[in-house]
Structures are given as C-alpha cells and as structure tokens.
Chains A and B, each alone.
Chain A
Amino acid sequence: MAAELHVAMVAADREVWSGEATLVVARTTSGDIGVMPGHQPLLGVLESGPVTIRTSEGGTVVAAVHGGFISFADNKLSLLAEIAELSDEIDVKHVERELERAKAEGDASAERAADVRLRAVGAR
C-alpha cells in the first residue's frame, strides 16, 4: 500500500476538503513545509497563502488559506483556517475587481486576502 495521509481542511463554518493525499505543502511563519506520510507530529502556525495537496489519485488540490494552523499526528493532517477556499471555487474576475477596489480604498487586509486568492489560482 502506498503511504498516504488523511487530510481534513476545515474553515470556521464548514469542512472545505477532505481526502487522502501523499504530500501537503503549506507555508508556516517560519517557511514552507512539506508533510509526507509518517512525518513527526507537528503543530504550526500558517501564513496566508496557497496550500498544495497532492492527492493519492495523482491530482493536485490548491486552496487559498487565510491564516490558521496545520497539525499533523497519526497520519492525520488537519488544516485549520478561519477562511479557506479551494482554487476551483475562486472566481478570478471577481477577485481581480476586489483587488482593484481594495487598492483604491487602501484596504490592506482586503488587498492581502485578494492577493492570496490570486496566488492560489496561479499555483493551480
């Protein structure tokens, strides 16, 4: 059996994605981290940014995560975030408009959020 780990990505109000994966790459405050099956138990703080999940079927799932945590133990990985969106769910045109509006209004947090979304789409 190929080694795989169970991933659950949960946002505050819903479960965004769950399934089996062979590799998860996320950005913590101290740098990018890749988790493969059998990794040491880990609990880290995530930066806002794209998270890449390589599923056991060979596909890739990319999600935009706005802050949160990564925790791994017993081959179960959970990604906790207040807001998390799969890149497929992101409407690029809408986000671009949002980004422009945020820039115009000088709304730094909205600008950052839109930027994270775009990067997630770009990493797809």
Chain B
Amino acid sequence: MGAQLRVYKRRIRSVTATKKITKAMEMIAASRVVKAQRKVAASTPYAQELTRAVTAVGTGSNTKHPLTTQAETVTRSAVLLLTSDRGLAGAYNSNVIKAAEKLTARLETEGKQVDVYIVGRRGVAHYNFRERKITEQWTGFTDEPSYADAKKVAAPLIEAIEQATADGGVDELHIVYTEFVSMMTQNAVEARLLPLSLDEVAQESSAKGEILPLYDFEPSAEDVLDALLPRYVESRIYNALLQSAASKHAATRRAMKSATDNAGELIENLSRLANAARQADITQEISEIVGGSAALADATAGSDK
C-alpha cells in the first residue's frame, strides 16, 4: 500500500471516531433539552401565581418597599450574567457575554459603577482572563439548576439591593441570560430585574384582561409584600437559570449536529482522495510492470541480434 493511501486511511479512522463522539453528544444534548424544557414548564405555575400575587399587592395597596422604589440617582448597578460551565455549545456563551459587556458599557456611560455577578465557569473564566473584578460567582449547577441554586444566587443580590449605596449596596439589578425560544432559536437577552416596576408586572399579567379582586391581606399588605418580593425575584432568577440551561443544551445539540455533519463530509472527501490515491498506486504499478516488461523485451530482442 502506498504511503499516501495509508495517511488517508489513518485520517478517515480518526475522523470517524470523532464523528461517533459528536453524534453521541448530540443525542445526549437533545434528551437534555427535552428534560430542561419540561423543568421550565413545571416551574411556570409557581411563577404565574407569584406574579398574580405581586400584581394583587401592587395594585391593591400603596405600599413602598426597597425592592420596588427607584433610587433618585443610581450610582451602582449589579449585573447578573448567566453562562454555562461547559463549552462545546457554539456561540452560546460568547453571545451572552457579549450582551453583558454591551450592557456594562452602556451603564458605565450613564455614569454608573457596575458590579458583576456571574453564574457558570465560562463567564468566570472570561472575566478572570481579562483580570476584571467579579463580585460574586457560582459554578457547578448550570446544567440542571435547582430552586435551591436560584435561592443561593438571589440571596446576596437581594441583600446588596437592600443595603444603602454608601455601604456598598447597589441601586438596580440587571440580569443577562439566554432566552429559550425554540429548539433552533435562543436569544441572549438582558432585563432589569430590580427595582421592580409594579406597573410593568401588572401589565404583564393583566394582558388576559382580568380584573383583580380587592384582597384581604393577612397579616398586612406590607408584610405580604415583604415576604413576596424576594420570592418573586428568586423565581425570576430560577426561570432565567432554567431557560439558560435549556438554551445551552439546544446550542450544544446544534453545534454537535454540525460537527457530525462536517465530519461526515470530511470522511466522504477523504475516502474520495483515498480511492484516487489507491487508483494512482495501481496505475503506477501497472505502468511499472508494463514498462518493465517492455524494457525486458527490448533487452532480449537486442541480445538476439
């Protein structure tokens, strides 16, 4: 066998192995997307009911709360960035990081100081590499976030927003995550989570055109709001975590699918080349034999004379 042919054969073998791996990863990601989507759906009733309750308090009373009052001058904002722990997800992480940087730049031009909170090893690595300050970071649960994880993330953020700005607290909280639209579409989005605008929440939930009844609050509207708002923030963060996880798996699936397709194409091209090389070897051998025998014939013909 010719040297060229051997090289091609070796490359085909290696690409085939890679293709098997990417194919497996694609299938794993596909099953995880379904699981993650199911989790998003399972968390919806809770989020819906909470939104309804927040709207009820917001419209039914004139209570003030640190989580709903807009600071007159915003000097410091917190940005919560949700990335994944693992890569191999195409542009998933770079998209969301880019969105976060755009937001940070915009906030900074508005004269605000930005504290960055990051979920996911990828985002942490990105910021560490550029030696930028991360206020707080969480890793290890981005594939399958639980509600406890969301609580863990929300706690310091709520604490920071309740603290006075002079003592290192923040005035507003933005969240940057990847919205799961469909299997094919995931968008990096940013939203202001806090201070919560009750009007906006009300608009969101009254889109169905329902009129909220006058509630009786137990023990009091203030206490209910006090208990409700942190839960609302947690549930929003939980939802964002779940959507990010679903998006990550969908992005992985797509990236792995194109990797598998590319590997298939590569194998096809390589086998064409290998066939050509084999053919060339054979042709060469034949011409060598023919040439050899012709030379022999010439030589014997010459000696006869």
Contacts and interface: CB of A to CB of B under 8 A. Distances in A.
Given A12-B46, A80-B50, A43 B227 contact: no
A11 B42 CA distance: 9
Contacts of B43: 12-14
Given A10-B45, A12-B147, A43-B53, A69 B228 contact: yes
A14 to B, nearest CB: 5
A13 to B, nearest CB: 5
Given A13-B43, A15-B42, A42 B218 contact: yes
B49 A13 contact: no
A92 B113 CA distance: 52
A70 B228 CA distance: 11
A60 interface: no
Q: Is the interface of A mostly helix, strand, loop or mixed?
A: strand
Contact of B217 (A14, A44, A68, A78): A44
B49 A78 contact: yes
A12 B235 contact: yes
B302 interface: no
17 contacts: A29-B218, A29-B219, A29-B223, A42-B217, A42-B218, A43-B56, A43-B224, A44-B218, A45-B219, A45-B224, A45-B227, A69-B50, A69-B53, A71-B49, A73-B215, A74-B213, A78-B49
- What are the 3 A-B residue pairs with the smallest beta carbon separation, nearest first? A44-B218, A41-B213, A12-B147
